[in-house]
Amino acid sequence: MRCLFEGSFPSIGERLLIAWNGSQQAAAAVHGAMPLIHRAKHVTVLIGRGKESLSTITRYPKLDIVGHLSRHAAEVSTWAFEAHDWEAGARILDIADEKNADLVVMGAYGHSAWRELFLGGATRHVLKHMTLPVLMAH
């Protein structure tokens, strides 16, 4: 295993930031984070562009993520998230900092490999610039 960041983290998983776009990858990340969500003091959900607007993301029935998380976490709030693909990773990290999050939960590589390679994406940006722990699923 390789550590991609350095630092001291007095808490991990008390204040989660979930980047949600309704994709299979985001759902897998939330599923993987459920043990942490159960123990979190606060969960902020970034409600991003829905999968309906992204042609490369697998489509599934819409999930009421806030209602779902409200049954599992102490406190859940939402944050409207509008960002172009090339700035989404930076905005996720900026909001995590604003919200004093100690863990980001997000899907990874929801776009095609070619698109990520040439245009970049939130996954690559977050992996390269993360300043706090991040749980990703693909």
| Rounded distance between C-alpha atoms, residue 137 and residue 24, angstroms | 9
Give the pLDDT confidence score for residue 1 in this predicted structure.
Answer: 37
**β-strand partners of 47:** 20, 80
* Domains of the chain, start order: 15-137 (3.40.50.620)
Task: Tell me the DSSP string of 26-85.
Answer: HHHHHHHTHHHHHH-SEEEEEE-S-GGG-TTSPP-----HHHHHHTTSS-EEEEE----H
Residues 18-53 pLDDT 10s: 999 888 899 999 999 999 999 999 999 999 865 444
pLDDT of 118 > 90? The answer is no
Of the listed ranges 12-16, 37-41, 53-57, 128-132, the least confidently predicted one is: 53-57
Q: Which of 80, 88, 94 is nearest to 123 (CA)?
A: 88
Positive/negative CA dihedral, 11, 99, 82, 85: negative
Residues 72-117 pLDDT 10s: 988 999 998 888 777 899 999 999 999 999 999 999 887 655 555 5
Mean of per-residue pLDDT scores for the chain: 83
Kindly report whether the global pTM for this prediction surpasses the value 0.85: no
What count of Cα atoms within 13 Å lies in the side-chain half-sphere of residue 96?
26
Cβ 125 vs Cβ 95: under 8 Å: no
